């Protein structure tokens, strides 16, 4: 790993005497500096605009301005304020002159006759101080950028956003082109390039085995940890012929769990020059690896939760002549736990029992309670109990075995032949009835299951040919900051204009409300026209 150059080597010499410029320039050139010259204040500003010198040697007496004024202007301009200035003079040699120049911002003040060794030692001392200052400022800027990058990486909630945040963070920290590569559970390797100074990100296609091939450049192996390396540009482009990074590459690979694919961050090598900056690259790689592992774990837990949740729900609907059904279950967008939402459709003799419910909470316990209530509901229904007695029995079960839980349930007992419906509700959202372009909510009501009261709300309705009934859990219409009455009205308007195809209508309802913070269960049934 290389270190920063020992000193900047470009100096602007400003003096109206050509001989003096030549002498001073020759000293500087022998010391390894590139020298640019100016004979006046006006020329000095032109050179500063055209070049980026690391030092200014400035005569105090210029034909068009005072060197003191030029120094003060250099120091007051944000673009040149950190540029070191050494005053030289053969006439302003008094103590007051030197004090004036130093108070005006000069970093040193030399008077004729100037000794070459003293001059070069002064130049080295001034540049050494400014190099240390610039290094500290650069380190502080990069640490601040590293903090911003870490926050963005940890805030990413998808692998695509995480890869983009990693690439953007590396480009911002090191000020050069960068690329991030992450392999999520779906097996599709994400590769995103970021180009400074705009920090625009560009997804690039890549084969999944590229990560394994790049891994040969570092000594990470199959274990956990973080490793960095400098890769010659030609070797990098052998693996990635379409690489956006130019020249040699500084890269880091990190893994936090054995058996997982590592993450890779790479930047142009000239952006990472010393050990401190390589440590920043390591830290950034570790931050990405930890965030990836957290996102992978969340995705795995969510997948397991969804599988378990759906396994507790009916896999098929009974065929009921004259009626069409559509079912939906959508897990919470921000939850990785199983919930307590459920639905059931059971033929009981010549009637049909349609149930929807919601057990309080998101946890394995809530799912267990939900499964128990579903099985108890089936048992009571098979015994021939009506909806009111079923809900009363479910309340007894809940209070006896899960006294810390509550639940809401709505039961529809449907006569398929004549469309007669009895609605029994225990604190659940009211069903929605629609026909002929008009829609209304049922009575709903009743006390939640889990309380000692036996208050079961019952409503008798008839669904005419072409009529639609929609049952849902509260996750569909509950939003933070939005009155539930507003969302219920949105749902009523959607039902009044329901699609002939119930599957399309169900998708439209879910799309209209967007990603939800709670689980959503929904049953839609329509009597054929």
pLDDT tens for 33-46 read 999 999 999 999 99
The secondary element (H helix, E strand) that includes residue 203 is strand 200-203
Q: Closest by alpha carbon to 357, among 311, 410, 414, 430?
A: 410
Q: How confident is the model at residue 313, as a pLDDT?
A: 62
- pLDDT at position 420: 96
Q: Is the pLDDT of residue 301 over 50?
A: yes
4-13, 25-34, 211-220: range with highest mean pLDDT:
25-34
Reported as a pLDDT band with limits 50, 70 and 90, residue 273 is: confident
Q: Sorting pLDDT into bands at 50, 70 and 90, what band is 349?
A: confident
Decide which of 404 and 490 is more confident. Answer: 490
Q: Are 406 and 360 in contact (CB under 8 A)?
A: yes
Query: What distance separates the 2 farthest-apart alpha carbons in the chain?
Result: 117
Give the H/E segment covering residue 89.
Answer: strand 85-89
pLDDT digits (tens, 9 = 90+) for 98-111: 999 999 999 999 99
pLDDT, position 55: 95
Is residue 298 pLDDT above 50, yes or no? yes
- Residue 415: Cβ-neighbour burial (10 angstroms; 0-12, 13-18, 19+): middle
More confident residue, 176 or 219: 176
* pLDDT over threshold 70, residue 458: yes
Q: Alpha-carbon distance 119 to 124, whole Å?
A: 9
- Please calculate the CA angle 142-146-152 and round it to the nearest 5 degrees: 145
- What confidence tier does 309 reach under pLDDT thresholds 50, 70, 90? low
pLDDT at residue 257, rounded to an integer = 87
Quote the CA–CA distance of 387 and 100 in Å, as a whole number.
98
Cβ atoms of residues 367 and 519 within 8 Å: no
Instruction: Write out the DSSP string of 434-495.
Output: EETTEEEE---B-PPBTBS----EEEEEE--TT-EEEEE-GGGT-BTTB-HHHHHHHHHHHH
Give the contacts of 49 (CB within 8 A, at least 6 positions apart): none
Higher pLDDT, 452 or 49: 49
Predicted pLDDT at 398: 93
pLDDT band at 79 (very low <50, low <70, confident <90, very high): confident
Is the pLDDT score of 78 beyond 90?
no
Q: Which of 424, 419, 307, 405 is nearest to 356 (CA)?
A: 424
**pLDDT of amino acid 430:** 94
Average the pLDDT over each of 11-15, 103-107, 323-327, 441-445 and give the range with the smallest value: 441-445
Query: What spatial distance separates the first Cα and last Cα of the chain, rounded to whole Å?
Result: 79
- The number of residues in the chain equals 529
Quick one: pLDDT at residue 302? 62
Tens-digit pLDDT profile for residues 241-259: 888 888 999 999 999 888 8
Question: What is the per-residue pLDDT for 134?
Answer: 81
pLDDT-derived band at 446, boundaries 50, 70, 90: confident
Q: What are φ and ψ of residue 58, in 5° steps?
A: -125, 120
Q: Of 126, 106, 119, 130, whose CA–CA distance to 24 is shortest? A: 119
> For the segment 138-152, what is each residue's pLDDT rounded down to a tens digit?
888 889 999 999 999
What is the predicted pLDDT for the residue at 307?
65
Q: Are 406 and 460 in contact (CB under 8 A)?
A: no
Kindly indicate the confidence band of residue 193, based on its pLDDT and cuts at 50, 70 and 90.
very high
| Nearest C-alpha neighbor of 28 from the set 59, 3, 7, 49 | 7
Residue 2 has pLDDT above 60, yes or no: no
Task: Tell me the Ramachandran region of residue 439: left when phi exceeds 0, alpha when psi lies from -120 to 50, beta otherwise.
Answer: beta
Lowest mean pLDDT among 76-80, 240-244, 335-339: 335-339
Residue 488 has pLDDT above 70, yes or no: yes
Residues 6+ apart with CB under 8 A from 253: 214, 215, 218, 220, 226, 227, 262, 263, 264, 285
Nearest alpha carbon to residue 288 among 179, 207, 188? 179
Rounded CA-CA distance 465/454 in Å is 34
Classified as helix, coil or strand, 33 is coil
Distance of CA 179 to the CA centre of its chain: 16
Q: Name the residue with tokens 């199983």.
A: 338
Helices of type H across 159-274: 159-174, 210-214, 233-239
Q: Which residues pair with 230 in a beta bridge?
A: 250
Q: What is the spatial distance between Cα 199 and Cα 180, in angstroms, rounded to a whole number?
A: 13
Least confident of 382-396, 444-458, 502-516: 444-458
CA pair distance 135, 84, nearest whole angstrom:
15
The residues near 161 (Cβ < 8 Å, ≥ 6 apart) are none
Contact assessment for residue 326 and residue 506, using Cβ atoms and an 8 Å cutoff: yes
**Considering the chain, what is the average pLDDT of its residues?**
89
pLDDT in tens, 408-439: 999 999 999 999 999 999 999 999 999 999 99
Mean predicted confidence (pLDDT) in 361-366: 74
Q: Where residue 312 falls among pLDDT bands split at 50, 70, 90?
A: low
- 294 vs 162, more confident: 162
User: 């006046």: which residue's tokens?
Assistant: 40
Cβ(341)–Cβ(475) below 8 Å:
yes
pLDDT in the model for residue 5: 41
């Amino acid at each position: 790993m290389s270190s920063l150059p020992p000193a900047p080597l470009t100096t602007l010499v400003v003096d109206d005497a050509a001989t003096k410029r030549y002498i001073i320039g020759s000293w500087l050139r022998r010391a390894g500096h590139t020298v640019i010259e100016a004979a006046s204040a006006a020329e000095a500003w032109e050179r500063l605009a055209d070049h980026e010198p690391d030092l200014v040697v400035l005569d105090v007496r210029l034909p068009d301005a005072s060197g003191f004024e030029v120094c003060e202007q250099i120091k007051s301009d944000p673009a040149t304020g950190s540029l070191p200035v050494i005053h030289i003079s053969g006439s302003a040699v008094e103590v007051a002159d030197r004090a004036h120049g130093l108070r005006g911002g000069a970093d040193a003040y030399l008077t004729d006759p100037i000794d070459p060794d003293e001059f070069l030692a002064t130049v080295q001392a001034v540049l050494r101080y400014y190099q240390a200052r610039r290094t500290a400022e650069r380190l502080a800027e990069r640490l601040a950028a590293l903090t911003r990058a870490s926050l963005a990486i940890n805030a990413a909630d998808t692998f695509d956003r995480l890869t983009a945040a990693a690439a953007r963070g590396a480009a911002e920290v090191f000020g050069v082109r960068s690329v991030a590569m992450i392999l999520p559970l779906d097996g599709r390797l994400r590769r995103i390039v970021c180009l400074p100074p705009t920090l625009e990100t560009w997804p690039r296609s890549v084969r999944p085995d590229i990560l394994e091939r790049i891994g040969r450049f570092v000594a990470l192996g199959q274990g956990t940890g973080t490793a960095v390396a400098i890769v010659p540009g030609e070797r990098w482009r052998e693996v990635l012929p379409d690489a956006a990074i130019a020249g040699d590459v500084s890269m880091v690979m990190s893994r936090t769990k054995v058996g997982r694919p590592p993450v890779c961050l790479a930047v142009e090598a000239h952006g990472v020059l010393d050990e401190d900056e390589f440590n920043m690259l390591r830290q950034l790689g570790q931050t990405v690896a930890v965030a990836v592992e957290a996102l992978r774990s969340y995705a795995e837990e969510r997948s397991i939760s969804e599988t378990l949740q759906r396994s507790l729900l009916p896999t098929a609907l009974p065929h009921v002549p004259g009626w069409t059904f559509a079912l939906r279950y959508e897990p919470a967008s921000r939850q990785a736990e199983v919930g307590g939402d459920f639905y059931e459709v059971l033929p009981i003799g010549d009637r049909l029992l349609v149930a929807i419910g919601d057990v309080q909470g998101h946890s394995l316990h809530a799912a267990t309670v939900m499964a128990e209530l579903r099985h108890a509901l089936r048992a009571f229904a098979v015994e021939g109990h009506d909806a009111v007695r079923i809900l009363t029995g479910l309340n007894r079960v809940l209070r006896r075995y899960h006294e810390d839980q509550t639940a809401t349930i709505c039961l529809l007992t449907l006569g398929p032949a004549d469309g007669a419906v009895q609605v029994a509700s225990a604190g659940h959202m009211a069903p929605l009835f629609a026909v002929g372009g008009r829609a209304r909510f049922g009575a709903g009501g009743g006390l939640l299951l889990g309380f000692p009261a036996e208050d079961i709300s019952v409503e008798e309705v008839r669904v005419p040919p072409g009529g639609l009934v929609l049952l849902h859990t509260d996750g569909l219409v509950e939003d933070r900051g939005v009155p539930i009455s507003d969302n219920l009205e949105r749902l009523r308007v959607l039902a009044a204009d329901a699609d002939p195809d119930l599957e399309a209508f169900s998708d439209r309802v879910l799309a209209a409300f967007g990603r939800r913070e709670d689980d959503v269960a929904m049953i839609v049934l329509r009597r054929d026209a």
